[in-house]
């Protein structure tokens, strides 16, 4: 027996609402601080997907009133060049947030570059200091995609405390931080991954199921408990009809939507929320370190 029609968790609409709120906040702060907030996105090479993401981020910055201070490097840029640029941006008073667009070309070490970013300007929330603050439940800049997941759950008043949450995927970008954020909200959290035995049984226990594995439509109806809240973090480009590519998530949307109580679409779910949280982190850094009367 199928559940009633699920409610779509509309990340696109919420992201637009957040952008309007940030625009008002920036206008108020800019009159006191005397400059707009600044975000520097560093991109290396010509990865088409990365180019789209960077353009989207720059457009979103423009809407909110954040200055885009990014730099585009050729594909053969060296580790030393990038590290030096990050060092300069750390000391640049116009810059409140720094982001290295991943993935980087194979000859570059992304982890050491992320560590070069000052924790207070870590717009992506991936520096070990900020991840450590998350582990300790201390305030700090949070990883954008997991923070977007939590903000979307909050917007739709979805109860988390006491619920069973299963996170599929254990990356430092999404899986681990979103598990910690759910735990912080008193969920009972299970992390599943490629080595999990009897994955179906684990997933079917979930009141809240977060899919972050990067495998197109891996989560099928038989892996989902009827009435579960399903959060699809995956963005996979696959070939559709007539050879045209299309975006799909990690969840087989049509069939899972028949039994879920809430579900995120792809596109239009977590993707826009990630960008909204990036802008939010940048504005928060701008506010915190430029207004002396903050809490």
Q: What is the pLDDT of residues 267-294, one digit of tens each?
A: 999 999 999 999 999 999 999 988 765 4
- Where is average pLDDT lowest: 26-40, 43-57, 63-77? 43-57
- Find the mean pLDDT for residues 178-191: 98
Whether 224 and 256 have beta carbons less than 8 Å apart is answered as yes
Q: pLDDT tier at 1 (50, 70, 90 boundaries)?
A: very low
- Quote the percentage of the chain above a pLDDT of 90: 87
Instruction: Please check whether residue 15 is in contact with residue 276, taking contact to mean a CB–CB distance below 8 angstroms.
Output: yes
| Mean pLDDT for the stretch of residues 42-70 | 92
Is 211 within 8 Å of 219 (Cβ atoms)? yes
Q: What is the full DSSP assignment across 4-44?
A: SPPEE--HHHHHHHHHHHHHHHHHHHHHHHSS--EEEEEEE
Residue 262 has pLDDT above 50, yes or no: yes
CB burial class (10 A; 0-12, 13-18, 19+) of residue 122? buried
| CB proximity list for 268: less than 8 A, separation 6 or greater | 10, 11, 12
Least confident of 80-84, 167-171, 234-238, 254-258: 234-238
What pLDDT score does 214 carry? Answer: 92
The pTM score is 0.94
Q: Determine which one of 124, 207, 232, 250 is catalytic.
A: 124
Neighbours of 183 (CB within 10 A): 16
pLDDT at 2 over 60: no
CA distances from 261 to 27, 143, 169 (A): 38, 26, 22
Collapse the DSSP code of 232 into the 3-class scheme (helix H, G, I; strand E, B; otherwise coil) and give the result.
strand
Residue with more model confidence, 205 or 294: 205
57 annotated active-site = yes
Asked if pLDDT for residue 295 goes beyond 60, the answer is: no
Binding residues, by number, are 169-171, 235
Separation CA 183–CA 238 (nearest Å) = 33
Share of the chain above pLDDT 70, in %: 97
- Whole-number Å distance between alpha carbons of 95 and 264: 33
Confidence of residue 64 (pLDDT cuts 50, 70, 90): very high
Element (H, E) at 53: helix 48-64
Rounded-to-integer distance, Cα 103 and Cα 220, Å: 28
Cβ atoms within 10 Å of 73's Cβ, excluding its own: 17
Distance CA(158)–CA(206), nearest Å, equals 14
pLDDT of residue 49: 81
Judge whether 236 and 250 are in contact, CB under 8 Å. Answer: yes
* Residue 101 is among the residues annotated as catalytic for this protein: yes
* pLDDT at residue 51, rounded to an integer: 87
Q: What per-residue confidence (pLDDT) applies to 125?
A: 95
Catalytic choice (10, 19, 25, 57): 57
Mean pLDDT for all residues in the chain: 94
Annotated binding site for NADP(+): 169-171, 235
**Structural domains of the chain, with CATH:** 34-118 (3.40.50.10860), 143-270 (3.40.50.720)
Catalytic residue among 10, 19, 101, 121: 101
190-200 b/e with 16+ CB inside 10 Å = b? Answer: bbbeeebeebe
User: Residue 57: pLDDT band by 50, 70, 90 thresholds?
Assistant: very high
- Please give the pLDDT value at position 244: 84
What is the DSSP pairing of strand 67-68 with strand 38-44? parallel
Cα separation, 159 vs 185, whole angstroms: 9
Identify which of 147, 106, 107 has the alpha carbon closest to the alpha carbon of residue 123: 147
Phi and psi of 262, rounded to 5°? -135, 150
Q: Which residues contact 71 (CB under 8 A, 6 or more apart)?
A: 40, 42, 43, 85
The C-alpha angle 288, 282, 118, rounded to 5 degrees, equals 80
pLDDT of residue 293: 57
pLDDT for 111-159, tens place per residue?
999 999 999 999 999 999 999 999 999 999 999 999 999 999 999 999 9
DSSP 8-state symbol, 3: P
């Amino acid at each position: 027996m199928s559940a009633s029609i699920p409610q779509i968790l509309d990340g696109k609409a919420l992201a637009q609402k957040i952008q309007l709120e940030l625009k008002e906040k920036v206008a108020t702060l800019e009159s006191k601080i005397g400059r707009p907030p600044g975000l520097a996105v560093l991109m290396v090479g010509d990865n088409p997907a990365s180019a789209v993401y960077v353009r989207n981020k720059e457009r979103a910055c423009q809407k909110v009133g954040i200055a885009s201070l990014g730099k585009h490097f050729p594909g053969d840029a060296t580790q030393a060049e990038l590290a030096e640029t990050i060092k300069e941006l750390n000391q640049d008073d116009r810059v409140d947030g720094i982001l290295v667009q991943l993935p980087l070309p194979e000859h570059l070490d992304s982890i050491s570059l992320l560590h070069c970013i000052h924790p207070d300007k870590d717009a992506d929330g991936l520096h070990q200091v900020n991840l450590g603050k998350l582990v300790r439940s201390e305030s700090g800049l949070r990883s954008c995609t997991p923070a977007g997941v939590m903000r979307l759950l909050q917007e739709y008043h979805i109860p988390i405390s006491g619920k069973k949450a299963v996170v599929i995927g254990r990356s430092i970008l999404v899986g681990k931080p979103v598990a910690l954020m759910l735990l912080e909200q008193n969920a009972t959290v299970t992390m599943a991954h490629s080595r999990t035995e009897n994955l179906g049984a684990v997933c079917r226990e979930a009141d809240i199921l977060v899919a972050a594995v990067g495998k197109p439509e891996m989560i099928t109806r038989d892996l989902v408990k009827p009435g579960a809240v399903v959060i699809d973090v995956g963005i996979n480009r696959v070939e559709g009809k007539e050879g045209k590519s299309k975006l799909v998530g990690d969840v087989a949307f049509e069939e899972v939507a028949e039994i879920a109580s809430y579900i995120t679409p792809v596109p239009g779910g977590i993707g826009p929320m990630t960008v909204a949280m990036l802008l939010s982190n940048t504005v928060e850094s701008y506010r915190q370190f430029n207004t002396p009367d903050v809490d």
